[in-house]
Amino acid sequence: MENLLSLAFDNLSSYDGPKIRKGLRQVEGLLANICLSRSQSKERRGSVISQQDEQEPLPPKTLEEITDDPAFYEFFKLQEGFEWNVAMRLVNTLDRLLARGGDGSNDLLILSALDLVQGVMLLHPPSKALFSREMHMNILLDLLEPDFCPAIQSATIVTLVTALIDAPRNTRTFEALDGLLTITSLFRNRCTSRDVKLKLVEFLYFYLMPEVPSIPSARAIQDPAVPPLLQRSPSKLAKAFAFTGVGKGAADGARPRSAGDGETRTQEEKQALLGRHLSSVQELVEDLRQNTPFGGVVV
Residue 23 inside a domain? The answer is yes
What pLDDT, on a 0 to 100 scale, did the predictor assign at position 119?
93
Within a domain: 68:
yes
Q: Which stretch of DSSP H or E encloses residue 139?
A: helix 134-142
Q: What is the pLDDT of residue 108?
A: 95
pLDDT score at 45: 37
- Taking the alpha carbons at both ends of the chain, their separation in whole angstroms is 29
Q: Cβ(269)–Cβ(175) under 8 Å?
A: no
Q: At 188, which amino acid appears? A: R
Nearest-CA neighbor of 26 among 52, 6, 42? Answer: 6
Ranges under pLDDT 70 in the chain: 37-58, 63, 102, 214-262, 288-299
User: Which residues are registered as beta bridge partners of 36?
Assistant: 60
CA distance 97 to 278: 32
User: Does a structural domain hold residue 145?
Assistant: yes
Is residue 42, in this structure, part of any structural domain at all? no
Q: Which domain holds residue 110?
A: 2-36+58-296
Q: How far apart are CA 133 and CA 255, in angstroms?
A: 9
| Among 146, 66, 148, residue whose Cα is nearest residue 109 | 148
In a domain, 48, yes or no: no
CATH number of the domain that residue 75 is part of: 1.25.10
Looking at the domain assignment, is residue 182 inside a domain?
Answer: yes
> Where do the H-state alpha helices sit in the chain?
2-12, 17-35, 42-45, 51-55, 63-67, 70-79, 86-99, 104-123, 134-142, 150-164, 168-176, 179-188, 194-207, 228-231, 267-275, 281-291
3-state DSSP assignment of residue 293: helix
Residue 256 covered by a domain: yes
Distance between CA atoms of residues 259 and 216, nearest Å: 9
Number of domains in the chain: 1
Q: Find all residues with CB under 8 Å of 49, minimum gap 6, and list them.
A: 40, 41, 42
Q: Would you say residue 49 lies in a domain?
A: no
